[in-house]
């Protein structure tokens, strides 16, 4: 992705230096003073991709939002002449706390001049894509830059959940070394009798995990997807062994897998995809890994399954009601239980990945301003602009 939009023309004229580093235009009058050029509104700070930010500033008036509430945001929009693009970040502590979800109501209040909404995140359940599309607003996410870091996080959870490392850490913290560790409940992912990794959602992250787990750990890979992938992609998922095997139903994948790893987007169809019925179909020794979105899993059902030993364990980086975590899941990660290995949604939180995610968004905005179309949009808008 680093070479995306290389060679695009960039205007030479820069904004006159402003006193504030962010170059915020503090009033409606100031907004309108520069209204001869397109305006780009940053709902969140660009902290890392400074070179791309300067290139964008050479092309447009870049304004940092000062809104502290949804109502203030709506009023701020009215003061912005020539607003063409909005940049936002998916983080739960970011602008989502100000604007709320971009639902039908908020979309109806967006200015007619707005053409582009670039969302810094792989998942985009915070956006009502149907309403945005009907309003003629092109939307992009960051689908590829997150593949490596998120799949690495998933791989760590796969290993840790299979080997019961959460329990080992808990026992160590309580003053015990390894004398109490139940090694008969810890399993190697490969070696004799390779474990089966079941991928639910074979997009970029799911395919990257399959490649890493098969090459590094010797795992066998099966997957369930909305549609079967081409044979060459299946082969690339397992470069050192038999191609990844497509299974027609989720139920079959659940029954056969030693690890079920979730990589599907959060949609009305996937909300609660994994509940009691699905967990009951898994092997008693199997583990569930989720680096997709928390609400894909019914956490109450998962907690019950862990408490009753209906499944062997879980590795989670996302949660149903972030930042809150189900009390039973927390208990299962502590107090000597050790059946849940938990991370606080850090799948993409690395310097390299966060820098590239910002850069991808800014390059896409610049491409949109220059051509009238984003370089890429979310899947639901394919062929619509």
Comparing 88-97, 213-222, 310-319, 367-376, the range with the smallest average pLDDT is 88-97
Q: What is the largest CA-CA distance in the chain?
A: 72
For tokens 């962010």, name the residue: 22
Q: Is the pLDDT of residue 30 over 70?
A: no
Given a cut of 70, whether residue 31 has pLDDT beyond it is no
Q: How far apart are CA 245 and CA 222, in angstroms?
A: 5
Residue 27 has pLDDT above 60, yes or no: no
For 236-383, where are the E strands, in sequence order?
245-246, 259-262, 287-290, 313-316, 340-342
Alpha-carbon span 208 to 150, nearest angstrom: 9
Q: How confident is the model at residue 335, as a pLDDT?
A: 64
Tell me the catalytic residues. 293, 322, 345
Reading across the β-sheet that carries 39-42, which strands appear in turn?
61-64, 39-42, 83-89, 116-120, 138-140
The pLDDT of residue 19: 31
How confident is the prediction for the chain on average, in pLDDT? 89
Please work out, in degrees rounded to the nearest 5, the angle formed at the alpha carbon of residue 283 by the alpha carbons of 277 and 285.
130
**pLDDT tens digit string along 153-208?**
999 999 999 999 999 998 898 888 998 899 998 999 986 778 999 999 999 999 99
DSSP state of 139: E
Query: Is residue 377 predicted with pLDDT exceeding 60?
Result: yes
Phi, psi dihedral angles at 356 (to 5 degrees): -70, -35
Q: Where are the domains of the chain?
A: 28-145+351-381, 147-342
pLDDT confidence tier of residue 340, bands split at 50, 70 and 90: very high
Question: Is 45 exposed, middle or buried, given 0-12, 13-18 or 19+ CB atoms closer than 10 A?
Answer: middle
The DSSP 8-state label assigned to residue 377 in this structure reads -
Q: pLDDT above 70 covers what percent of the chain? A: 90
Q: Do domains 28-145+351-381 and 147-342 have the same CATH topology?
A: yes
What is the percent of the chain with per-residue pLDDT over 90, rounded to a whole number?
82
Q: What is the pLDDT at residue 16? A: 31
- pLDDT tens for 265-275 read 999 999 999 99
Instruction: State pTM to two decimals.
Output: 0.85
Burial class of residue 23 in the structure, from the number of CB atoms within 10 Å of its CB (0-12 exposed, 13-18 middle, 19+ buried): middle
d(CA 212, CA 151): 8
Q: List, for residues 246-264, the tens digit of each pLDDT value.
A: 999 999 999 999 999 999 9
pLDDT at res. 276: 98
The fold for domain 147-342 equals Rossmann fold (3.40.50)
Non-local (6+) Cβ contacts of 373 within 8 A are 138, 367, 385
Per the listing, tokens 């791309």 go with 52
300-318 pLDDT, tens digit each: 999 999 999 999 999 999 9
**pLDDT tens per residue, range 82-108:** 999 999 999 888 999 999 999 999 999
274, 286 Cβ separation under 8 angstroms = no
Q: What is the DSSP string of 64-85?
A: E----SHHHHHHHHHT-TTEEE
Q: Which two tokens stand for residue 248?
A: 């027609």
Residue 75, pLDDT above cutoff 80: yes
Q: Which two tokens stand for residue 247?
A: 């299974």
Domain 28-145+351-381: top CATH class = alpha beta
Please determine, for residue 24, whether its predicted confidence score (pLDDT) is greater than 60. no
Name the band, by pLDDT with cuts 50, 70 and 90, for residue 336: low
Provide the pLDDT for residue 3: 34
For CA atoms 95, 99, 103, 106, the dihedral sign is negative
Q: Which two tokens stand for residue 376?
A: 């890429």
List phi, psi (to 5°) of 287.
Answer: -120, 150
| pLDDT at residue 105, as a whole number | 97
Using 50, 70 and 90 to split pLDDT, how confident is the model at 337? confident
């Amino acid at each position: 992705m680093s070479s995306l939009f290389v060679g695009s023309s960039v205007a030479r004229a820069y904004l006159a230096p402003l006193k504030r580093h962010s170059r915020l235009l503090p009033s409606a009058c100031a907004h309108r003073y520069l209204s001869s050029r397109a305006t780009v509104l940053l709902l969140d700070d660009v902290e890392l991709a400074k070179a791309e930010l300067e290139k964008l500033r050479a092309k447009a008036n870049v304004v940092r939002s000062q809104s502290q509430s949804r109502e203030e945001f709506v009023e701020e929009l009215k003061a912005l002449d020539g607003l063409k693009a909005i940049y936002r970040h998916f983080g739960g502590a970011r602008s989502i706390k100000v604007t709320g979800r971009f639902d039908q109501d908020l979309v109806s209040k967006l200015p007619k001049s707005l053409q582009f909404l670039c969302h810094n995140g792989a998942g985009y359940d915070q956006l009502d894509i149907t309403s945005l599309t009907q309003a003629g607003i092109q939307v992009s996410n960051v689908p590829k830059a997150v593949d490596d870091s998120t799949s690495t996080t998933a791989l760590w959870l796969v290993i840790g959940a299979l080997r019961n490392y959460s329990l080992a850490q808990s026992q160590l913290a309580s003053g015990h070394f390894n004398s109490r560790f139940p090694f008969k409940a810890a399993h190697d992912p490969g070696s004799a009798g390779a474990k089966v990794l079941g991928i639910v959602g074979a997009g970029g992250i799911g395919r990257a995990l399959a490649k890493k787990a098969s090459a590094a750990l010797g795992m066998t890979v099966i997957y369930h997807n909305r549609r079967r992938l081409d044979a060459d992609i299946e082969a690339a998922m397992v470069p050192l062994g038999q191609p990844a095997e497509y299974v027609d139903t989720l139920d079959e994948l659940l029954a056969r897998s030693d690890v079920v790893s979730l990589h599907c987007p959060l949609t009305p169809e996937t909300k609660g995809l994994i509940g009691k019925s699905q967990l009951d179909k898994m092997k008693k020794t199997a583990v569930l890994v989720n680096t997709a979105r928390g609400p894909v899993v019914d956490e109450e059902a998962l907690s019950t399954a862990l408490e009753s030993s209906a499944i062997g364990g879980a590795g989670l980086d996302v949660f149903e009601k972030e930042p809150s975590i189900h009390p039973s899941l927390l208990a299962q990660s502590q107090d000597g239980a050790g059946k849940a290995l938990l991370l606080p949604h850090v799948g993409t939180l690395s310097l390299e990945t966060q820098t590239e995610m910002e850069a991808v968004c800014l390059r896409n905005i610049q491409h949109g301003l220059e051509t009238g179309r984003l370089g890429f949009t979310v899947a639901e808008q394919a062929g619509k602009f």
